[in-house]
């Protein structure tokens, strides 16, 4: 028996890997082809996907099976649901970097509490920053 399994990937989910490599991998679907499946033989395909948000995800799949000689065709539609609770943390690996004047090791305070001027950390420039939900303030370094 020959099988084709097509699994639809819902938005917010991305494929990571699987025990059997898919024959086709698109952003929204995975397709596996299994040839020569014997009577009463079982083949499992386990795959890992990453959720990019919380919520309930449904993964519908369509299976077509036919005899090797093409004499008989069967099909089935199935689906699996997965619930991802809470907040999904942001992925590491961003190339974002704080500006040079936001030296996290700076101890000099200027203006008032919770404000660090760029000049205090040797960046030598005017800076605006917001900390602890306070209003923006501008700090001019002394000349």
Q: Is there a single domain that holds both residue 8 and residue 66?
A: yes
- Domains contained in the chain, number: 2
Q: Is there a single domain that holds both residue 104 and residue 136?
A: yes
Determine contact, residues 68/38, Cβ cutoff 8 Å. no
Query: Considering the domain boundaries, does residue 91 fall inside one?
Result: no
Which domain range does residue 45 map to?
Answer: 2-84
Which pLDDT does position 86 carry in this prediction?
A: 81
The Cα 53–Cα 15 span in angstroms is 14
Closest by CA to 72, choosing from 6, 3, 141, 127, is 3
Q: Is there a single domain that holds both residue 79 and residue 104?
A: no
Residue 95, C-beta contacts closer than 8 angstroms, at least 6 positions apart: none
pTM value > 0.75: no
Geometric angle at alpha carbon 93, from 121 and 28, rounded to 5°:
150
Which pLDDT does position 114 carry in this prediction?
A: 47
In our burial notation (b when 16+ CB lie closer than 10 A, e otherwise), range 36-69 reads: eeeeeeeeeeebebeeeeeeebebebbbebeeee
Closest by CA to 77, choosing from 30, 137, 132, 7, is 7
Q: Is there a single domain that holds both residue 143 and residue 122?
A: yes
Q: Is there a single domain that holds both residue 104 and residue 143?
A: yes
Q: Is there a single domain that holds both residue 25 and residue 58?
A: yes
What does the pLDDT profile of the chain (143 residues) look like in tens digits? 899 999 999 999 999 999 999 999 998 999 999 988 888 899 999 988 998 888 899 989 999 998 888 888 889 999 989 888 886 555 555 555 555 554 454 444 444 444 444 444 444 444 444 444 444 444 455 55
């Amino acid at each position: 028996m020959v099988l084709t399994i097509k699994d639809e990937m819902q938005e917010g989910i991305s494929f990571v890997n699987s025990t059997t490599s898919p024959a086709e991998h698109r952003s929204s679907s995975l397709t596996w082809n299994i040839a020569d499946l014997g009577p009463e033989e079982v083949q499992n395909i386990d795959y890992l996907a990453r959720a990019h948000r919380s919520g309930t995800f449904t993964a519908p799949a369509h299976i077509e099976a036919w005899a090797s000689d093409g004499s008989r065709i069967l099909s089935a539609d199935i689906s699996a649901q997965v619930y991802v609770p809470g907040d999904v943390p942001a992925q590491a690996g961003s190339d974002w970097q704080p500006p040079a004047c936001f030296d996290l090791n700076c101890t000099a305070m200027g203006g008032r509490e919770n404000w660090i001027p760029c000049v205090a950390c040797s960046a030598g420039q005017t800076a605006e920053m917001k900390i602890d939900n306070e209003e923006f303030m501008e700090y001019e370094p002394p000349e």
